[in-house]
Each structure stands twice: as structure tokens, then as C-alpha cells.
Amino acid sequence: MTDTIQPTENPTVGTEKSKPKFRVTTILLWVAVIGILALVGWGLINANKTRPEAGQTAPGFTVHYFDGYEWENASASTLEEMKGKVVVLNFWASWCVECRVEADLLEQASRQYANEDVVFLGVAYADVEPNSIEYLKEFGITYPNAPDLGTSISSDYEITGVPETFFIGKDGVIANVVIGPVNGPAMMNTINTLLAEGGSQ
């Protein structure tokens, strides 16, 4: 009976518990956990990125034009170089039926504003280059056009489909976004306003 009533003692547990443990392995483990959480958080933020809207600065990019196309005698340009001009950035594709609706309209407008501070810039999204060139020939498009290499421009502009057109003011701020084919009078109105204001609407 007396054997069973003796309280069991474990002195090592008591001394370990009383001292806080700051071992290197513990610190490393927590650093790894925080790193993983940060990475997951970064991924979630990127996944939920929304399209840059009117009033926001247009994301910068570099374009390498299709053969036979150029802007100011250069076969590649950046958006930064176009600062001070109104930029009509149009995303299209040869397989896109809706793009054919606005193709003539954009070409006519580009000719109309040829002598003004307006740059029409076409970017072919997820398109096969030979088909893009055939499309450009079919509609007799003369304003600068380029493939979206690496799908990077459309990714930065978070386009939801084609056609989509961004009107960027002289200050590099997005003034208007049109989802679907552009409307002639509305497009002229936006461009004229941007030319008059010298900045975004």
C-alpha cells in the first residue's frame, strides 16, 4: 500500500519547464513557417489583382513590333517613350470575331489623328504570329502593332478578353477602359477630351 501512495517525481521535467527554450532549431522552424505563409499571402494578393482602372497609372511595358511596323522609326518602344501623347492601347487577336467589328474604325481613327499627339497601338493577345500578320493585312492596318510576348502586357493590364481598349492620357494615367468593340463617336470624344486636357479625364 505504501508503495502505491508514494508520489512519483520527475525532477528533470520541472527544471526544463521553468526555463524558456530559444534553440536555433526552433527559431529556424518558425522562420520557415513565416516564410511559407508570406509566400502564400503573396500568391493570393497576385491572384486577386484587378484590372487597372481609370485614374490609375498605366503599367509600363516594352513592345517589339511586327515586321513592317514601327513607331518613330523604332522597331521596339516603351510606354514611357510615349509619355506626352495620348495612347490608345488596343488588345486584339486574329481569332477574335468581335475584334473584326472595330478593326476598320480604329484604322480610320488612327489616320484621322495621324498629325496629332495620339498613338494608336495594337497588341495581339495569345495569337499566332502568321495569323496576326494576315489579319493586319486583311484590314490594311497601318498603325503600330506588336505581339504580346510572354503574355506579359495583357497580364499586367489584367484583360478579361479581347477586344479591350485602354485610353491613356498624356500624363500616363488611364482615362477610360472599353470592354468589347469601341464605339466610334465615344472614342473620338475621349481622345478629343484627353488632347484638350493634356492629362486624364
Binding stretches for other proteins (CB under 8 A): 1, 4-8, 10, 12-13, 16, 29, 32-33, 36, 39, 43, 64, 67, 75, 93-95, 126-131, 133, 147, 149-152, 154-155
Whichever of 13 and 24 has its CB closer to other proteins, that residue is: 13
Complex with other proteins: residue 108 or 131, whichever CB lies closer: 131
Query: What is the Cα–Cα distance from 3 to 87, expressed in whole angstroms?
Result: 92
CB of 16 or CB of 116, closer to other proteins = 16
- Residue among 13 and 196 whose Cβ is closer to other proteins: 13
CB of 73 to other proteins, least distance (A): 16
Task: Please give the Cα distance from 140 to 73 (Å, whole number).
Answer: 19
Exposure of 86 by Cβ count < 10 A (0-12 exposed, 13-18 middle, 19+ buried)? buried
CB of 140 to other proteins, least distance (A): 19
**Cell digits of residue 138:** 486583311
Q: CA-CA distance, 47 to 195, in Å (whole number)? A: 35
> Residue 5 CB, nearest distance to other proteins (Å)?
4
Helix axes 97-112, 184-197, angle to 10 degrees: 40
CB of 112 to other proteins, least distance (A): 31
Cα–Cα dist 66/64, whole Å: 7
Task: Give the Cβ contact number of residue 31 at 10 Å.
Answer: 10
Cβ proximity to other proteins, 22 vs 185, nearer residue: 22
Rounded to 5, what percent of the chain is helix, strand, coil?
Answer: 45, 20, 40
Beta-carbon contacts of 64 under 8 Å, excluding residues fewer than 6 positions away, are 75, 76, 146, 147, 149
Minimum distance from residue 130 beta carbon to other proteins (Å): 4
CB distance 143 to 133 below 8 Å: no
Question: Which is closer to other proteins, CB of 94 or CB of 190?
Answer: 94
Minimum distance, C-beta of residue 113 to other proteins, in the bound complex (Å) = 29
